[in-house]
Amino acid sequence: MARRDSRPRPGSLEGVTNYPKGTDMIEVCELTKRYGASVAVDGLSFAVRPGRVTGFLGPNGAGKSTTMRVILGLDAPTEGRAAVNGQRYQQLARPLHQAGALLDAGAVPGGRSARNHLRAIAASNGISARRVGEVLGLVGLEGAASRRVRGFSLGMKQRLGIAAALLGDPPVLMFDEPVNGLDPEGIHWIRGLLRQLAAEGRTVFVSSHLMSEMALTADHLVVIGRGRLIADTPIAEFVQQGSSSDVMVRTPRGGDLAGLLAASGAAVTAAPGGGLAITGLDAGQIGDLAAAHGIPLHELTPRHASLEEAYMELTRDHADYHAGLPEQSRKAA
Amino acid sequence: MTAITATPRAPARPRPARARDVLASEWIKLRSVRSTYLTLLFAAAAAVGVGYLVTHADATHWATMSASARAAFDPVGDSFSGLGLAQLAFGALGVLLMTSEYASGLIRTTFAAVPRRRAVLAAKAAVVGAVTLVAGEVIAFATFFAGQQALSTHHLEVTLAHPGALRGVLAAGFYLAVTAWVGLGVGALIRHTAGAITAMAGAVFLLPQIVHALPAPWDVTIGKYTLDLAAQQTIAQHPAPGYFGAGPSFLIVAAYAAAALAAAAFLITRRDA
């Protein structure tokens, strides 16, 4: 389904103010949230736009869930603001028609049946019991609708939480770590669902701490660490930057080789710890060039940084907790 | 994959939120869990059962009772000897209506669906109030009739037409509903089931006992303002010496419910969910 196509430049913050005020989108502006002395979110600004899946990426404890709670009006921001469809969430009339969210699949009381759980949520926004049946079918839970939620697997609870988010058929959807605890079939299903929701023109905002997951589903990334924005970029650009490869060369005649390489159009930089990092020529070309000029090579190693490593590199200094690995092993390609 | 929408999506046309919808939601929540029915059943069994046992015992021992005990005997109040247990159950019902949502995390879904949190609290108070008032009065009348049945073996019973009897029975049912409201308010303030039930039980049961143990005249001076001792005066046929009469005591009882809910309404918008 086609939607309005007046999208501003992806990732530009100026767009937040130029955009025809926040239709079908999420805006976060200079958001800070402190809990006592600890800062969960620190001056965060970004916008989530319709028609694509935006991944919200960051290590555990980076402030993703806090940001989502503030967007939903559950936590009050210490400073700054968040808006859904151009309004503070609390000002939305019947908010389930405008934004649906899955925050924590486990947050369902066990004593109620899936259908009654959804009916209670639906009723609060004037949504019919018929729509409850529809969303149960949509997530494949119609067979378990009368069962009490207590006996549900985590995967079934995820589906139930997604059903609740879809009740109001909202143009804006937020999911906090929706693939956690899912089996491969469930993960496959949810990827398809996210893509479909975005293809229908909805704003889809999905948090994850797994780069690999986002690489498969997201069109755009908002990366945060320690509550601060690290990147707000199309995934294609992130992949391009992240998956850069080079060739590591060690030679006693570094100066001579660097000159020859530069003359052949390669980019040469001194690698930390000695040696040259070369881009623009592959290992074979470099080896041939060195051989032709009689330059001995002690090492010739093609290096490929994966997307996962690019993400690790990007967020390393922003992770609250990480294992105390030696510098070397974290950098190894 | 099935389409998410059954019909083509129209632009979101926000209709104003209605109180009726929030009430419907809370009504579904209350009636769709087994604990609601179990709690009310337990309360009924405790109030009627204990009331019957105590009145039966008093009737049996009537012959050996002292003259002063006979003079002070209140056939209405006596039949409500098991009200405390019923209250504990009603209070827990009110507490759980709030704390179970905090415990499971459902409260976030609830507040995301209805950001006007006071509307949620008001709907919960209305729904639990209606249910506990009806259930409370049914239990109160059943308790009264069971007790008078037990007393009738020694011709100690009174009828509803007896002065103060009907008022006492109605007040007992109302007191049960008030306990549920106090529980709801305390549940919203404390947000943890165990802590809230402890606080509720302490305020309703323990505090009057402590006050009652104070040296005179403080036991009465303070005691007449405590929830349980004030409620006793609304149920008793004659107020105890030094205590307020049924009318003012009724207002004190109602004020406890109002205060608990007002404090909850004050804090509920001021804290992160």
- Rounded to whole angstroms, how far apart are CA atoms B179 and A88? 37
pLDDT at B12: 47
Same domain for A252 and A235: no
- Count Cβ–Cβ pairs < 8 Å, chain A vs chain B: 128
What is the per-residue burial (b if ≥16 Cβ within 10 Å, else e) of A220-247? bbbbbbbbbbbbbbebeebeeebeeebb
What value does the mean pLDDT take over residues A114-127? 97
- Asked if residue A200 belongs to a domain, the reply is yes
Domain boundary among A240, A265, A292: A240
- Are residues A124 and B104, on separate chains, in Cβ contact within 8 Å? no
Q: Give the model's confidence band at B233: pLDDT under 50 very low, under 70 low, under 90 confident, else very high.
A: very high
Domains of chain B, residue spans: 20-59+73-268
- Rounded to whole angstroms, how far apart are CA atoms A280 and A267? 6
pLDDT at A306: 66
Q: Is the pLDDT of residue A12 over 80?
A: no
Half-sphere exposure for A47 (CA within 13 Å, toward CB): 24
What CATH number does residue A167 fall under?
3.40.50.300
- Asked if residue A309 belongs to a domain, the reply is no
Q: Give the model's confidence band at A244: pLDDT under 50 very low, under 70 low, under 90 confident, else very high.
A: low
- Measured in whole angstroms, the distance separating CA A112 from the mean position of its chain's CA atoms is 33
pLDDT at B168: 97
Same domain for A206 and A81: yes
Expressed as residue numbers, the domain containing A87 is 14-240
Q: Three-state DSSP class for A271?
A: coil
- Asked if residue A310 belongs to a domain, the reply is no
Q: Which of B14, B108, B112 sits opposite A97 (nearest CB)?
A: B14
Residue bearing the bigger pLDDT, B194 or B13 = B194
Are A222 and A55 in contact, with CB atoms under 8 Å apart?
yes
Residue B102 has a CB neighbour count (10 Å cut-off) of 18
Q: Both tokens of residue A93?
A: 């009339």
pLDDT at B265: 97
CA A32 to each of CA A75, A206, A292: distance values in angstroms, whole numbers, following the listed order: 11, 20, 59
Number of domains into which chain A is organized: 2
- Asked if residue A8 belongs to a domain, the reply is no
Q: Three-state DSSP class for B10?
A: coil
> In this predicted structure, which of A16-20, A167-171, A253-257, B169-173 has the lowest mean pLDDT?
A16-20
Q: Both tokens of residue B269?
A: 């918008």
Same domain for A155 and A195: yes
Residue B194 has a CB neighbour count (10 Å cut-off) of 11
Q: Which of B4, B115, B272 sits opposite A95 (nearest CB)?
A: B115
> Model confidence over A199-211: pLDDT tens digits?
999 999 999 988 8
- Are residues A95 and B33, on separate chains, in Cβ contact within 8 Å? no
Same domain for A217 and A258: no
- Are residues A109 and B114, on separate chains, in Cβ contact within 8 Å? no
CA B263 to each of CA A197, B84, B116, B186: distance values in angstroms, whole numbers, following the listed order: 42, 24, 16, 9
- Mean pLDDT score across all residues of chain A: 86
ipTM: 0.89
- Rounded to whole angstroms, how far apart are CA atoms B124 and A192? 38
Are A223 and A58 in contact, with CB atoms under 8 Å apart?
yes
Domain boundary among A213, A240, A267: A240
CA A164 to each of CA A9, A20, A91, A127, B38: distance values in angstroms, whole numbers, following the listed order: 32, 29, 20, 11, 28
Same domain for A147 and A250: no
- Asked if residue A135 belongs to a domain, the reply is yes
- Rounded to whole angstroms, how far apart are CA atoms A8 and A84? 17
Place of tokens 């960051």: A58
Contact of A177 with chain B, judged by CB distance below 8 Å, is answered with no
Q: Which amino acid is at A284?
A: G
Question: β-pairing, A220-225 with A52-57?
Answer: parallel
- Are residues B17 and A90, on separate chains, in Cβ contact within 8 Å? no
Q: Both tokens of residue A123?
A: 């009723």
- Asked if residue A3 belongs to a domain, the reply is no
- Asked if residue A328 belongs to a domain, the reply is no
CA quadruple A244, A249, A254, A258: dihedral sign: negative
Cβ-in-10-Å burial (0-12, 13-18, 19+) of A278 comes to buried
Helices (H), A200-296: 211-217, 235-242, 254-263, 283-292
Q: Give the model's confidence band at A243: pLDDT under 50 very low, under 70 low, under 90 confident, else very high.
A: low
- Asked if residue A268 belongs to a domain, the reply is yes
Query: Among residues A233, A206, A218, which one has the least CA distance to residue A314?
Result: A233
Q: Is the pLDDT of residue A24 over 80?
A: no
Same domain for A202 and A168: yes
pTM of the model: 0.84
Same domain for A252 and A226: no
- Are residues B111 and A74, on separate chains, in Cβ contact within 8 Å? yes
> Model confidence over B29-47: pLDDT tens digits?
999 999 999 999 999 999 9
The CA-based angle B194-B199-B203, given to 5 degrees, is 150
Q: Three-state DSSP class for A251?
A: coil
Rg (CA), chain A: 24
Same domain for A172 and A34: yes
- Min Cα separation B29/chain A (Å): 6
Same domain for A217 and A187: yes
Q: Give the model's confidence band at A22: pLDDT under 50 very low, under 70 low, under 90 confident, else very high.
A: low
Cβ-in-10-Å burial (0-12, 13-18, 19+) of B270 comes to exposed
- Mean pLDDT score across all residues of chain B: 92
pLDDT at A47: 96
pLDDT at A265: 87
Residue A315 has a CB neighbour count (10 Å cut-off) of 22
Same domain for A163 and A62: yes
Q: At A231, phi and psi to the nearest 5?
A: -150, 145
Helices (H), A40-183: 64-71, 114-124, 129-138, 154-166
DSSP secondary structure letter of residue A31: E
> Model confidence over A43-87: pLDDT tens digits?
999 999 999 999 999 988 899 999 999 999 999 999 999 999 999
What CATH number does residue A250 fall under?
3.30.70
Cis peptide upstream of residue A50 (ω within 30 degrees of 0): no
Q: Give the model's confidence band at A31: pLDDT under 50 very low, under 70 low, under 90 confident, else very high.
A: very high
Are A46 and A221 in contact, with CB atoms under 8 Å apart?
no
pLDDT at B155: 92
Contacts by B3-7, CB closer than 8 A, 24 or more apart: B3/A200, B4/A138, B4/A166, B4/A169, B4/A196, B4/A197, B4/A200, B5/A169, B5/A200, B6/A134
> Using a CB-CB distance cutoff of 8 angstroms, which residues of chain B are in contact with residue A76?
272
Place of tokens 């103010």: A17
